[in-house]
Chain A
Amino acid sequence: MTSLTPMVAELVDYYDDGEAARHFQFRLLDQQQWPPPEPGQFFMLSVPGAGEIPLTFTQLPDQNQHWWALVRRMGSVTSALFRLEPGAILGARGPFGRGWPRPGSDQTPVLLIAGGCGLAPLVSQAERLLEMNLGPVALIYGARSPEARVLGRERDRWQHKLALFEVIEQSPGQTARRTPLDALPDVLAHWGHEPGATFMCGPEAMMTALSQRLIERGIPPSSIWLSLERRMHCATGTCGHCYLSHRYVCQSGPTFGWPELELLMQQPVTTQTPPLLSC
């Protein structure tokens, strides 16, 4: 049986980052343990009275079951979370879903692409890659504005370990919108590598366009991985909300290889295109 009742967790610490975004540290109470999560997996955070939302780990649980997550204040649950102080009792369930694959030595160099808060699910994958030291790693990070950038500490830390390319969509004095998609050719030329594996997370329209562009460049579709965001209420594949064709993102995702995702996204009625960078 898969319970929908969370374990007791505590809000340990937090710090602000970017516009309306905040890092939260949580820990499980009462000696409860989770199976060790993989980078790219997620957990369900309950703010009792407000509801439950899926969140990715920016730092995976340590042996004391402490972990970090980045949260953007957006709806009623995140707004309630932002009103809490350390010591608050919360609920947590997890880990859920399929994480990022562990790249093999034949899959270097590695390209990471993130839009806005989409950087969060890539943090622990980036850390793993740097630790594995397989080869060059590059990160293209797009944000709506300089103020909207998040995970500044991590980006600082990575500065000399990976090639970081920041793309600001709207910056003062700049007229044309510039997104990771626009920047891709320049970045790859500057970096001097073609990726052996690409991991990306950001608005779906951006990821779809990037994947197509990479494939046009001759990059194998099977080397491209994406992480999706969906409304979720159970994370056990029963509530139905995160459907993507005949799969549920909470179980078959949130990370998908491009060939699989491309099939799942085929449907006769397409929806309106969301803004390129909206996170």
Chain B
Amino acid sequence: MIHYRLAELAELTRHLGRTRQVWQRSGAKEWCQADASNPPPLEAGRSVQSAKGFFFAEQEHIFEFDGRYFRETLPKPAPFALIGVSSCDLVAIAYQDQFFASDPHYQARRQQALLVGLECTVPCEHGFCPTVDAGPAARPGTSDLVLHPVGNGWLLTVTSEQGRKSLQGLNLTTAPEAMKQQRQAQLADCERQFPDDQHIRDGVQALNAGTVNASTWQQMGVQCLSCSGCTSLCPTCSCYGVQDQSADQTITRRRFWDSCLYDGFQREASQHNPSDDAGARVYRFWYHKFSDDFRKDFGRYGCVGCGRCEATCPGVIGIHSVMKRISQHD
């Protein structure tokens, strides 16, 4: 792995901006397109939305139909770089890369992207990435470049061939060993600062052991307002619905983020609904994130420890609330 010292981040942004659109988080903690010649300061920590929407779009067209032929409407984005993807979100992208490996719409966008990670040096509110092996250090194979703040500058680590190529033409100096050591120290220090995660470990164990009784899930089902906040902000949630729309002579099918917490998610036209119990739907969500059954298929849990569900759930059944509840029941 190659490590560089980067004095000015803007140098990298300007360089990448010559061949790509550059996206960074704005002051509102949202991903926005940045003016590469005059980029905003890089913010650490968790963005409100993960980078999921760059690849698995919140809404997109699948095809157009003119009355006789179907024309697939694949996106054709220009090359782009995401600068400052947190380690947990990098893991989530790698997870979705697996899930959407054969999805042409996802891959059309993904293949145009350069991922520049940003490692956190302090835990974020509700975050628990170390518990689920997703941070604070960027995990191998999840990024192209990784940034870590050291002193007034940055340690820039090349983590992929694409990352190496993207730096061609940029004059960089190799990072001294001390910078690498400082990164390690900062990461270790960050990890130590995470609050106790015993409830999550116990909760996951209870979930997999099947020792959580139905009434516990049903009580949490009462608290689920079916707002779709958790599934929208969860960086690994991937369910979608489709809808046909007609305009003039063209019919367009679009897909959009869906949520397994909706009562209508599995309801069939006959009104038969395999998941008509709100408690069953809440269980489903957490089973999908933390079941060993999925772990066998994906090599890891479906949760990357970002804590967004806890932050956004109006019914107080985000990760910490749920794990505390289910780790206390048997």
Contact = CB atoms under 8 A, between A and B. Distances in A.
So, do A and B actually touch in the complex, CB under 8 Å? Answer: yes
B104 A246 contact: no
Contacts of A268: 210, 212-214, 217, 283
Contacts of B107: 1
Interface residues on B, range: 35 or more
A5 B74 CA distance: 10
Interface in B172-229: 210, 212-214, 217-218, 221
Contacts of B291: 246
A52 B243 CA distance: 9
B54 interface: no
Contacts of B104: 1-4
B57 interface: no
Contacts of A89: 67-68
A238 B103 contact: yes
Contact of B280 (A244, A266, A271): A271
B273 A271 contact: yes
Interface residues of A, number: 49
Nearest to A264: B293
Nearest to A76: B269
B258 A74 contact: no
Interface stretch (B163-171, B234-242, B310-318): B234-242
Interface centre among A6, A49, A241 (most CB of B within 10 A): A241
B244 interface: yes
Q: Classify the secondary structure of B's interface with A.
A: mixed
Contacts of B319: none
Contacts of A4: 62-63, 72, 104-105, 242, 253, 255
A51 interface: yes
B65 A241 contact: no
A9 B233 CA distance: 38
Given A52-B253, A269-B217, 20 more contacts: A1-B103, A2-B102, A4-B105, A4-B255, A48-B244, A51-B242, A204-B274, A231-B267, A234-B240, A239-B241, A239-B242, A240-B238, A240-B240, A240-B258, A244-B274, A268-B212, A269-B218, A269-B277, A270-B280, A271-B274
12 contacts: A1-B104, A2-B102, A46-B253, A89-B68, A204-B274, A229-B268, A239-B242, A245-B287, A246-B294, A269-B221, A270-B214, A271-B274
Interface of A: 1-8, 46, 48-53, 74-78, 89, 91, 203-204, 229-231, 233-234, 236, 238-246, 266-272, 274, 278-279
